[in-house]
């Protein structure tokens, strides 16, 4: 199908624009995970000729990798003051690559990167909205956050006005975006790597897993409070934390809480780890837990369901779109550390309940989150967009 919606005898040239993890390095963010997993899925769609364009701060020059089924371009991204320029330099570099590709359709991940502030998109474009800046900034209180906040909010408001075709990965995101744009919105949930569906449970008694950036929005402190309460009842309770500290003052609060409540032997901070190490962490845990203040959907919950692990989380934002309370996990009210500890205790004490919820969640994940399932839904949106263009 070409730009006018006519069917051709060649494959559809798709350009994914978004942060793909560097080859052979750990996935660090949810956006990286989604781009990597969707790439995995789109490669399996024979009608797609796939190119990934990844702007990154950790590359200094244009790099092209030819992989089985797709081509990946890593593009230098401005390291400082990018928000003040509305990311214009980054967008020009992306345009440079896209002009060489001449795609039929551009699929953008992380909406501040594209469409462009100063022009309309040059190709048919669909944008997956990942984070909501005006929501996320409510929980940012580091020294420079107030300076960064204004240009980020301005950029998001401009882009929402320009969006024409949006993919939202939860009804929560869809409802919020619908209030701020006249774009056509379709819901397609995020994919999860096939490797998570192959996880074989090797439970370590009392082990709870958290995966995500360690920030105020992710609210690890409340999870630690629940664990502190729980350890008075189940002494061998252990929390494993995968992810990096992103806010220095919050890191100090976390470390102070761990020391004050003598949790040094009950909490392990693992930092960024490889995908294989992450799979082993999912295999070894009995519960996956996260109590974010705000979450568009939550890759941690999707990975847990794919791995057959029950979830404990909060009844807020996009989490109930993923976790079915009483089926794939238990949801509690935000800020209730006693209820959180009780939910964790209930699952740690009942192997039957853990198995039932894990099995139910895995069945749902098979139906909703497999890369090939999400890729086919996404491909159908590409065709629909081109037909209407």
Give residue-wise pLDDT tens across range 274-295: 999 999 999 999 999 999 999 9
Same domain, 67 and 93: yes
Q: Is residue 185 in some structural domain?
A: yes
User: Given this model, what pLDDT does residue 7 score?
Assistant: 47
Q: What is the predicted pLDDT for the residue at 169? A: 92
Q: Which of 292-301, 353-362, 368-377 has the lowest mean pLDDT?
A: 292-301
Question: Rounded to whole angstroms, how far apart are CA atoms 355 and 309?
Answer: 8
Query: How confident is residue 8, by pLDDT bands cut at 50, 70 and 90?
Result: low
Whether residue 50 has pLDDT greater than 50: yes
Q: What is the DSSP string of 118-168?
A: SS--SS-EEEE----HHHHGGG--STTHHHHHHHHHHHHHHHHHH--EEEE
Which pTM was predicted? 0.91
Asked whether residue 3 is domain-assigned, the answer is no
Q: Domain check: are 239 and 301 in the same one?
A: yes
The percent of residues in the chain predicted with pLDDT above 90, rounded, is 70
Sole residue written with tokens 């009483």: 326
Closest listed residue to residue 203, CA positions, set 306, 329, 287, 290: 287
Neighbours of 312 (CB within 10 A): 28
Among 290, 363, 361, CA closest to 327: 361
Q: Half-sphere exposure (CA, 13 Å, Cβ side) for 8?
A: 14
The answer to the question of residue 2 being in a domain is no
Contact indicator for 117, 86 with CB cutoff of 8 Å: yes
Same domain, 220 and 362: yes
Same domain, 23 and 40: yes
Q: What is the pLDDT of residue 130?
A: 86
Pinpoint the alpha helices (H) of the chain.
Answer: 30-43, 88-101, 133-136, 145-162, 171-178, 194-197, 220-231, 248-260, 275-284, 299-306, 319-322, 337-349, 351-368, 371-388
Same domain, 141 and 33: yes
Instruction: Choose the weakest-confidence range: 125-134, 223-232, 367-376.
Output: 125-134
- 7 within domain boundaries: no
- CA 2 to chain CA centroid, Å, is 31
Residue 97 and residue 114 in one domain:
yes
Q: Are 105 and 27 members of one domain?
A: yes
**pLDDT digit string, tens, across residues 188-225:** 999 999 999 999 988 999 999 999 999 999 999 999 99
**What's the token pair of residue 92?**
């020009």
My answer on whether 243 and 255 are in the same domain is: yes
Structure confidence at residue 155 (pLDDT): 79
- What is the arithmetic mean of pLDDT over 115-140? 76
| Residue 18's CATH number | 3.40.50.2000
Q: Of 107-111, 150-154, 335-339, which gets the smallest average pLDDT?
A: 150-154
Q: Tens of pLDDT along 58-102?
A: 888 899 999 999 999 999 886 655 555 556 778 888 888 999 999
Are both 364 and 377 inside the same structural domain? no
Task: Identify whether 6 is part of a domain.
Answer: no
Crossing angle of helices 299-306 and 351-368, in 10° steps, is: 110
Residue 333 has pLDDT above 90, yes or no: yes
My answer on whether 116 and 233 are in the same domain is no
pLDDT of 256 strictly over 90? yes
Q: What is the pLDDT of residue 144?
A: 66
Mean pLDDT of the chain: 90
Domain count across the chain: 2
> By residue range, what is the domain housing residue 163?
12-191+370-388
Name the least confident of 10-19, 150-159, 308-317. Answer: 150-159
């Amino acid at each position: 199908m070409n730009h006018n919606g006519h069917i051709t005898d060649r494959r559809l040239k798709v350009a994914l624009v978004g942060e793909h993890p560097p080859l052979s390095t750990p996935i660090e963010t949810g956006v990286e995970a989604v781009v990597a997993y969707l790439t995995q899925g789109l490669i399996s769609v024979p009608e797609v000729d796939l190119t990934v364009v990844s702007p990154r701060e950790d590359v200094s020059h244009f790099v092209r990798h030819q992989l089985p089924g797709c081509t990946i371009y890593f593009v230098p991204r401005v390291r400082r003051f990018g928000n003040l320029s509305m990311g214009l330099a980054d967008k020009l570099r992306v345009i440079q690559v896209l002009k060489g590709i001449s795609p039929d359709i551009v699929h953008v991940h992380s909406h501040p990167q594209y469409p462009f502030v100063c022009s309309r998109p040059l190709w048919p474009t669909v944008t997956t909205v990942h984070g909501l800046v005006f929501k996320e900034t409510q929980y940012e209180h580091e020294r420079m956050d107030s300076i960064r906040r204004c240009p980020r909010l301005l950029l998001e408001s401009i882009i929402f006005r320009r969006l024409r075709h949006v993919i939202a990965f939860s009804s929560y995101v869809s409802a919020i975006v619908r209030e701020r744009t006249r774009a056509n919105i379709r819901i397609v949930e995020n994919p999860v790597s096939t490797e998570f569906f192959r996880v074989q449970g090797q439970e370590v008694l009392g082990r709870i897993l958290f995966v995500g950036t360690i920030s105020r929005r992710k609210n690890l402190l409340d999870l630690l409070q629940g664990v502190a309460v729980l350890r008075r009842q189940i002494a061998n309770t252990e929390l494993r934390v995968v992810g990096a500290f992103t806010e220095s003052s919050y890191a100090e609060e976390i470390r102070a809480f761990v020391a004050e409540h003598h949790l040094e032997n009950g909490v392990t901070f693992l930092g960024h780890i490889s995908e294989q190490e992450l799979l082993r962490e999912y295999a070894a845990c009995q519960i996956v837990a996260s109590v974010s203040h705000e979450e568009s959907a939550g890759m941690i919950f999707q990975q847990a369901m794919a791995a057959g692990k029950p979830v404990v989380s909060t009844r807020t934002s996009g989490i109930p779109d993923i976790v079915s309370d009483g089926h794939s996990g238990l949801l509690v009210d935000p800020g209730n550390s006693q209820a959180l500890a009780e939910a964790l205790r209930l699952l740690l004490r009942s192997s039957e309940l853990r198995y039932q919820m894990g099995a139910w969640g895995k069945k749902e994940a098979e139906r909703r989150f497999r890369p090939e399932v999400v890729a086919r839904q996404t491909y159908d949106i590409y065709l629909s967009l081109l037909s209407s263009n």
